[in-house]
Every structure is written in C-alpha cells, then in structure tokens.
Amino acid sequence: MKTKSLYRCGPCGREFSKWLGQCPSCEAWNSLTEVSLAEWERSGGATLVRPRNESALRIAAFVADEKGLSELVRFGTGFLLLDRALGGGLLEGSLVLLGGPPGVGKSTLMAQLAGQVSQAGAGVFYASGEEEVGQIAARLKRLGVSPSERLILGSSLTLEDILWKTGEIKPRLLIVDSVQTISCETSAYPSGSPALIRFIASRLLNLAKQEKMAVMLLGHVTKEGTLAGPKHLEHIVDVVLEMDKPRTEEFRTLRVVKNRFGPANALSVFRMEESGLAEVNDPSASFISESWRGRLAEEGGRSGLASSIALDAGQPFLIQAEALVGRKKPVPGRRGALGVERGRLEVLIAVLEKALGLNLEFVDVYLSLIGGIRVRDPGVDLALAVALASAALETTVPTGAVFLGEVSLSGDVMAPRDLAIRRDQAKALGFKKIWYPAEKLWRIADFLGTLKKGVHADDS
C-alpha cells in the first residue's frame, strides 16, 4: 500500500517513511513531524520535471579561444589586505559566508564594506533580519559612511522579498545579515532550522550565479565554535571567512578558510577603533605592546619566557611563550594551555622528560601565549620547549633572543618552514640573538646546554 505521509525532522530536514523517536541524522529527540504527500510535493520534495530551457543552460567545450570560460570579474571591498586575501577582491557570481561569534564585529565590517563598495560606484543591497532600517542607517552614520542612492537598506525581509527586490534593483553586491534570521514563506521547514538555512543558501547561490552578483551571508557561531547551519552550509558556499577576537580586545582576525576561486588560509588583521575597523598593515607585533617589549629588554633575561616568529598564511607574527611550573605535590599535576592546544603542551612535556630526564608528573604546568593570539605553527615549538624547560630548571632565557625550530618526538630540532622570512622579521623587530638548528645544535638538549653558556646561534 502506498504511504500516505512522510516524517520530517525539524532541525536537520531529513525525511523518513516512518516515525522515529530519535532522528538518526542529527540525533535530536522527538523532532519528527508528519507531512502529507501533498504538502511534500508542494515543498519541492517530489522530483521536479520541467521542460528544457536552453537559455538557462550554459554548456561549452573546453577550448583555448572560447570566450567566457576563464572570465573572473572581481571588484574591490575597500579593504586592501582583505582584497589580497580573497585573491583580488569579491568575485561576481560567488556566495561568501562570514562567520564569527556574537559581538566580534561582523555587522560593522559589512556596513563599512557596503559603504565603500557603493562609494566606488557599485549598487549594494543590505538586507537585515535583525535590525530595522533606521538602526542600520544609524550604524552607517556612526561609521562615517557617506550617504548614497546606490546603497539600499532592507529589514524584516523574507527570502521571497530578497529575491524580488534583488531582481528589481540588480545590485552588484547583496549582503544578508544574518542567514539564521531570514524566513521563507514557501518552505515547510521551521524558521532558523539548519534545513531552512541550507535551503536559503542554495537559493542565494543560484541567484548569485544567474545574476552574476556577489552575495555575502553573515552566520553565527555556535557554543561549540562551529558555524551554525551546521557544516553543510560551508559546503554550499564558495568562500568561507571566519572572524575571531583574540584576548586582546582591540584586534580582530579574519581568516579565509575556504576559497574556490583563490588562495585559502589567508589572514587579515583589523583593529577596532571608534570609527570602525581599520586594517593593520604590519600585524607581526600587534599582539605584544611596545612598552612590554621595552620592559623585557631592560631586564635582559627571564625564566620561563621565550620569543619566536610564527607564520600564519605567510604572515610573520611575533609571539612570546610564557611557562609556569609549580611545586611538587603528592598527586598528578594539572596542565593548562592558552593559545596552543593542550595536546601539543602534553607532547612537549613528554619530549622534555625524555630528552632532559625531567619528571613533571607531579607538578602543575601552564603555558600561555602573551597577547591572546592562537598559534598552530610547528615552527614555534623550540620557543615553547625552551620556555617550559627554563621554568622547570629555573634558568634564565635572554629576552632579546628568538627561537625558531620544530621539535620532534625524539627531541631533535628541525629548521622551520620559511626560515629566511622568520629571520628577516626577527631582525626587523630588533632581536640580536636568533636561535635555529645548525651544526652541533640540532637537539633540544644542545640548545639548553648552549644557552647556559651564553652562546647564541646567530648574530645580527
């Protein structure tokens, strides 16, 4: 007998032929609701058969002289470093997702970007599901955006409203703030559900391709630190940008996580000012203040502190690792890490115990990167190990030195990637002692032994 109805999961949108207490896809309980076949067909669940439309198809052989096969038209955002990170600016016909935690500055960045693009002569449609038009305008005025007839504002819009208005004004850039707040009148999915978010993103992707405009979606980050949607939304879009705020309040980092039409993993750094976000041209020393560096230079040496140059998306950063090793106690000690993964800290502790004969099992060990930056670059392992070892052995490390190297499980120190770039940056920042793997200096024990003698690897 033919099934009269289906059961659809509200959070993820999966459909099943019978009711289940828990959705096998998203593991939500009591989330399946009955949907009649007639409603299912109206919502697009049935196979759609329509006559062929040759004008909607774009088929071409891959030949050298075919026009349009390699046409990638880009336009600037008004942020030079962001354009460079995107591969030359926003691409017409692309769907960009900007994600980040609440309050990080996503709407501020989009408001500035909308103003700069409109001032350059391109049409912009800013659609918000969170704020009224007056509130958006107030933010634009606060950020110093000049009024322009090319910048159209909209609020409390459904997907149908956005598609209709976009077709009418035909902007070059559409901004949707945010995708979680947009509803759809013709969809049976509940408002804000991952299934509806994916549906809206798919429709906007088709819109971007058909109208050859750039579409930017703002997305929230969940408590688990992932973009709400969930990950399915990242697979739909062309470009994924992640905006984050380190512990240093005034700075913001914007990373290109995914880019179908340009380089991925590029990084831009912004400073939050009263007039909005401003790009930081030299972010290598942004997270460590000049006053702090000057104070360390006066000391000459300190236990448990080591500097290094990290590379993130080709951009060199000065980082300083600070370690604290507590007193011995009768129970296993705690481990804490800020700015580096805890697993990485535990590996370095194990390497030091093996290479130097230390016993850190019954002491608390804490490791932190000053300034709130987070680093995954293995080229700073030597600095992390030196900070930990000097704190455990109570030895002094020169504050005017940097340590460049990757530490293996056997205790060997290998030259980091792009050593020349790191050395040049260290010299530009005024460091006089640069430590890196060299002849008779290739194990962690060699570095610590040489360090006690006051010898350094490189004079600059």
Dihedral sign for Cα atoms in the order 126, 129, 132, 138: negative
DSSP 3-state of 258: strand
Element (DSSP H or E) covering residue 278: strand 276-279
At 384 the pLDDT is: 97
> Using CA atoms, how far apart are residues 345 and 193, in angstroms rounded to an integer?
38
DSSP 3-state of 165: helix
Instruction: State both tokens at 25.
Output: 């896809």
Instruction: State both tokens at 459.
Output: 């004079």
* Pairing assessment for the beta strands 173-177 and 124-128 based on DSSP bridges: parallel
342-356 vs 444-453: helix axis angle to the nearest 10?
Answer: 70
At 70 the pLDDT is: 58
Give the residue ranges of DSSP H helices in 37-188.
Answer: 37-42, 80-86, 106-119, 133-142, 159-169
Beta strands in 221-342 (DSSP E): 239-244, 251-259, 267-273, 276-279, 301-302, 305-312, 315-325, 335-338
Whether the upstream peptide bond of residue 102 has omega within 30° of 0, thus cis, is no
At 198 the pLDDT is: 86
Cβ neighbours for 203, distance < 8 A, ≥ 6 positions apart: 159, 163
* Nearest Cα residue to 127 out of 86, 183, 195, 76: 183
Q: Which long-range contacts (CB under 8 A, 24 or more apart) does 449-452 make?
A: 451/386, 451/390, 451/395, 451/397, 452/395
At 76 the pLDDT is: 94
User: What is the CATH number that goes with domain 290-453?
Assistant: 3.30.230.10
Instruction: State both tokens at 280.
Output: 């930081």
Residue pair 220/180 in contact (Cβ under 8 Å)? The answer is yes
CA-based end-to-end distance of the chain: 84
Amino acid (1-letter code) at residue 156: S
At 230 the pLDDT is: 46
At 232 the pLDDT is: 67
At 250 the pLDDT is: 81
Enumerate the domain spans of the chain. 1-59, 73-281, 290-453
DSSP 3-state of 373: coil
* Nearest Cα residue to 252 out of 425, 79, 87, 132: 79
At 235 the pLDDT is: 87
Q: What is the pLDDT along the chain (460 residues), one digit of tens a residue?
A: 455 678 888 777 778 888 888 888 778 888 888 877 555 455 544 443 444 555 555 666 666 665 655 577 899 999 998 998 898 999 999 999 999 888 899 999 999 999 999 999 999 999 998 889 999 999 999 999 999 999 999 998 889 999 999 999 999 999 999 888 888 888 777 777 788 888 899 999 999 999 999 999 998 765 555 555 546 688 899 999 999 887 666 888 898 989 998 888 788 889 999 899 999 887 665 667 777 777 887 888 899 999 999 987 777 888 999 999 999 999 999 999 998 999 999 999 999 999 999 999 999 999 999 877 888 899 999 999 999 999 999 889 998 899 999 999 999 999 999 999 999 989 988 888 999 998 888 899 999 888 776 544 454 4
Residue pair 196/186 in contact (Cβ under 8 Å)? The answer is no
> Using CA atoms, how far apart are residues 186 and 34, in angstroms rounded to an integer?
18
At 48 the pLDDT is: 38
**Right CATH for 1-59 from 3.40.50, 2.60.40, 3.30.40, 3.10.450:** 3.30.40
Give the residue ranges of DSSP H helices in 215-260.
Answer: 232-236
At 195 the pLDDT is: 81
CATH C-level class of 73-281: alpha beta
